[in-house]
Amino acid sequence: MLKNTLSAIHTNFQGKSIKRKIVVFQSDDWGTIRTPKSKPVRDFIQKNRFDANPFLNFDTLETESDLNCLFEVLSQSCDYIGNNPIFTTNHVVGNPDFKRIESANFEEYFFESTLDTYRSLNSTNQMDSFWRQGISNKLISPEFHSREHVDFILWLTQLKKGNLKVKEAFDLGFWGIPLDANIFKNQNLMATYDSFNQSNKQDYLNSISEGIAMFNAQFGKFPTSFIPNNYIFPLSLIEELASFNIDSMQGMKYIYLPKEGKNIPREQKRRINGQQEIPNSRIISLVRNVQFEPTLFNNKLKTLNLCLNQIKWAFLFGKPAIIDTHRLNYVSGLSEVNRDENLKLLKQLINEIIKKWPEVEFESTENLSKLYKV
């Protein structure tokens, strides 16, 4: 308990205060494949003893049913102004095109849009309309996560080298080997920007610019906020984001810097709510100070109480409660039971928030950023 209290104080005591009691839900990784639903994939995970990893057990591509169930919960409650809770859904707008990558002998990276992935894996053309329905009803507010959720430079390098585990996963249509497998000198295969250096800077600029264009094509709007995969991002690209009119960067209280392929301790930089991400930048830091991740904990009720306690500390310091709640809690492809239990808990959380703080306001990340800039 003392450890949690000290952590809450450390996260919240600095930064610009907003006296209103604002709650923002931020949810990452919508659109990426992560873990396909198939017996060969499950066999691979178990054979390599990756099955303790909750993302490999529960996180997979969302379906129409998943969005419908989430929207139903969000639409059942509202704050005193009449606003429903709104999820900032952070989107990966593309996935690897496995056939084209292999045809090029792993010399070049190719991708497809997430909408094409929905069609090929979920056999549906309706996901686009479901997302737009959620936007229209102010239940979700999409923002940009990445073009793809893989360090494509590290991935291609390992595939060309003949890394057996990476190639076996590739043949099964995924790449989600966990960091604790420790086969990449502690580089993170899931972290898009972890292989960044000055010599490949243009590859990453292309990933960002193409990803933002794809985001606009999918949602009919440009993003205003960004969160790097696994909180790893080079500081030198932050102003490049600003050129795309990104106003805020989401994340935790630290941003981690790429290792640039070196086997060295990872550097980190402290982030403060409402302050500039780097000096003289238009982009402000939005720091997550609350966790609602029931899938990551055995005791789901304890997760709920911890979340409410973290909200309390945020409000005591005059900060918005920015709730980190990952997609894996709300998708059913690998476990419908897990999704349904978490949705019930989400509904309970929302009701408890409204009960404890009747003056609470539910806001999107985009609107929170505007409040900080007033």
**pLDDT in the model for residue 185:** 67
- Tokens 């790097």 — which residue? 228
End-to-end CA distance of the chain: 36
CB contact burial 291-322 (16+ within 10 A = b; e otherwise): bbbbbeeeeeeebbebbbebbebbbebebbbb
**Cα 336 from Cα 189, distance rounded (Å):** 27
Residues 6+ apart with CB under 8 A from 343: 69, 70, 73, 330
**Cα 10 from Cα 5, distance rounded (Å):** 9
**Cα 191 from Cα 225, distance rounded (Å):** 18
**pLDDT in the model for residue 263:** 73
Under 8 Å between Cβ of 224 and 366? yes
**pLDDT in the model for residue 182:** 63
**pLDDT in the model for residue 1:** 63
The region, left, alpha or beta by phi > 0 then psi within -120 to 50, assigned to residue 110 is: beta
**pLDDT in the model for residue 341:** 97
Residues 6+ apart with CB under 8 A from 94: 31, 111, 112, 113, 114, 147, 148, 211, 214
pTM over 0.75: yes
Q: Comparing C-alpha atoms, which of 21, 4, 25, 1 is closest to residue 346?
A: 25
**Cα 239 from Cα 195, distance rounded (Å):** 19
Digitized pLDDT (tens) for each residue of the chain, 374 residues in all = 667 777 888 888 888 889 899 999 999 999 999 999 999 999 999 999 998 999 999 999 999 999 999 999 999 999 999 999 999 999 999 999 999 999 999 999 999 999 999 999 887 788 999 999 999 999 999 999 999 999 999 999 999 999 999 999 999 999 988 877 667 767 889 999 999 999 999 999 999 999 999 999 999 999 999 999 999 999 999 999 999 999 999 999 999 999 876 777 889 999 999 999 999 999 999 999 999 999 999 888 899 999 999 999 999 999 999 999 999 999 999 999 999 999 999 999 999 999 999 999 999 999 999 999 87
**Cα 341 from Cα 336, distance rounded (Å):** 9
Element (H, E) at 25: strand 22-30
How many Cβ atoms sit within 10 Å of the Cβ of residue 72?
A: 12
**Cα 277 from Cα 200, distance rounded (Å):** 23
**Cα 371 from Cα 121, distance rounded (Å):** 40
How many Cβ atoms sit within 10 Å of the Cβ of residue 13?
A: 12
Q: What is the DSSP letter of 250?
A: E
Under 8 Å between Cβ of 77 and 354? yes
**pLDDT in the model for residue 2:** 67
**Cα 85 from Cα 209, distance rounded (Å):** 30
**pLDDT in the model for residue 265:** 83
Instruction: Name the architecture of domain 2-373.
Output: Alpha-Beta Barrel (3.20)
Residues 6+ apart with CB under 8 A from 130: 64, 67, 68
Joined tokens for residue 216: 């606009």
**Cα 299 from Cα 339, distance rounded (Å):** 15
**Cα 79 from Cα 296, distance rounded (Å):** 28
| SS3 call for 185 | coil
Could you give the angle at the alpha carbon of 320 between the alpha carbons of 347 and 23, nearest 5°? 20
